[in-house]
């Protein structure tokens, strides 16, 4: 299904990341297993202003393992493209950056917010928030060698007794970072509790560089409230976009017809199959399929059949006639 690029048609330049103009103020968040090229491309067509890759381990880049080339692949239509990487070793991060810069991303982002134990407990992701001096070393080194803007995605701190978000933000700006995206939770919270939007407002007030707010944005009302409370330059949307790319067009999910949802599901399936192949693509599409169908009262057996159908052709055939099942 052909879809207009909302950004190019109606969005003005909202802010700049270094010398990169950003058209629009809504951004698909980088999410492991979700922010692949097909999903980014779909979100971009609906209006996401930036295309973040899922975070990639610098070790994977240096050793060229774990499908790193596929995870960093992108289409020209996705630009501006942000490569997000993580590690706790300054030398390896710089080496990884040198390897991937020839792929010509628009922006290089360092993840300082992942709360997964496998990442944070080794001192990477949110684990780096406990070592502000190392963050300073990493960003000064990257800014020195990078011809493109270097940015960061952070959390508020390791836990409630170590809320060092202002210190970290000032270090990042001082080291030459061009933008900061802020998830309004601590590492300890992971995705529980409420996102602290007031803390994001404090960062925005203290910074001269753009700040993007993230956390607990699921509806159009949430978008406007986040902007009003924080004054942020952009709003990053993660779980609120599952099965709902229309949020980037500022369309209420409840207003989307089942027929339109069906057409977008087919388009998303085609993107996944084209990117991953006819065998793997439909399997990886299943998590998106569940999210698309969750608002509708389809028989449980129908949903089970859809997410377990073994072939691309059978899944596509079912989606083509699915509209008749929404009774």
Helix boundaries (H) for 103-219: 117-120, 132-145, 165-175, 197-206
Grouping H, G, I as helix, E, B as strand and the rest as coil, residue 57 is strand
In sequence order, what are the beta bridge partners of 26?
235
Catalytic residue among 49, 93, 114, 180: 114
Where is 316: in which H helix or E strand? helix 312-320
Half-sphere exposure of 261 (CA within 13 A, CB side): 24
| Contact predicate 114/120, CB 8 Å | yes
Half-sphere exposure of 210 (CA within 13 A, CB side): 23
Give helix 165-175 / helix 197-206 axis angle, nearest 10°: 40
| Contact predicate 74/48, CB 8 Å | no
Residue 114 falls in the annotated catalytic set? yes
Grouping H, G, I as helix, E, B as strand and the rest as coil, residue 181 is strand
| Contact predicate 175/143, CB 8 Å | yes
Distance, in Å, from the CA atom of 36 to the CA atom of 130, rounded to the nearest integer, reads 29
Report CA Rg, the chain: 20
Bridge-based pairing of strands 81-86 and 150-154 is unpaired
Contacts for 273 with CB less than 8 Å, ≥ 6 apart:
281, 282, 285, 312
Q: Which two tokens stand for residue 134?
A: 């190392």
CA dist list (Å): 312 to 183, 240, 274, 297, 319:
37, 27, 11, 24, 11
Distance, in Å, from the CA atom of 8 to the CA atom of 64, rounded to the nearest integer, reads 35
Q: Which residues are catalytic?
A: 114
């Amino acid at each position: 299904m052909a879809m207009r690029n909302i950004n190019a048609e109606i969005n003005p330049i909202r802010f700049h990341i270094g010398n990169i103009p950003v058209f629009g103020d809504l951004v698909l968040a980088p999410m492991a297993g979700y922010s692949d090229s097909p999903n980014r491309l779909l979100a971009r067509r609906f209006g996401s202003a930036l295309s973040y890759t899922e975070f990639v381990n610098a070790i994977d880049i240096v050793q060229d393992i774990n499908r790193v080339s596929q995870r960093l692949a992108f289409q020209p239509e996705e630009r501006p493209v942000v490569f997000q990487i993580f590690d706790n070793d300054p030398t390896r991060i710089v080496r990884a950056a040198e390897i991937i810069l020839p792929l010509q991303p628009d922006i290089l982002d360092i993840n300082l917010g992942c709360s997964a134990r496998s990442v944070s407990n080794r001192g990477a992701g949110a684990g780096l928030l406990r070592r502000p001096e190392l963050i300073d070393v990493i960003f000064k080194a990257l800014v020195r060698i990078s011809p493109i803007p270097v940015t960061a995605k952070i959390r508020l701190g390791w836990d409630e007794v170590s809320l060092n978000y202002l210190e970290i933000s000032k270090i990042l700006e001082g080291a030459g970072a061009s933008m900061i995206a802020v998830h309004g939770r601590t590492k300890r919270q992971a995705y529980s509790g409420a996102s602290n939007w007031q803390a994001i407002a404090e960062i925005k007030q203290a910074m001269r560089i753009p700040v993007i707010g993230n956390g607990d944005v699921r509806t159009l009302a949430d978008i406007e409230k986040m902007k009003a409370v924080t004054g942020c330059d952009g709003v990053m949307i993660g779980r609120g976009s599952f099965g709902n790319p229309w949020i980037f067009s500022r369309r209420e999910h409840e207003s989307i017809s089942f027929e339109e949802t069906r057409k977008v599901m087919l388009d998303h399936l085609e993107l996944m199959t084209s990117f991953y192949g006819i065998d793997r693509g439909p399997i990886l599409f299943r998590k998106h399929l569940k999210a698309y169908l969750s608002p509708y009262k389809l028989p449980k057996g129908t949903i089970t059949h859809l997410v377990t159908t073994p072939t691309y052709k059978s899944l596509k055939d079912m989606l083509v006639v699915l509209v008749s099942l929404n009774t």
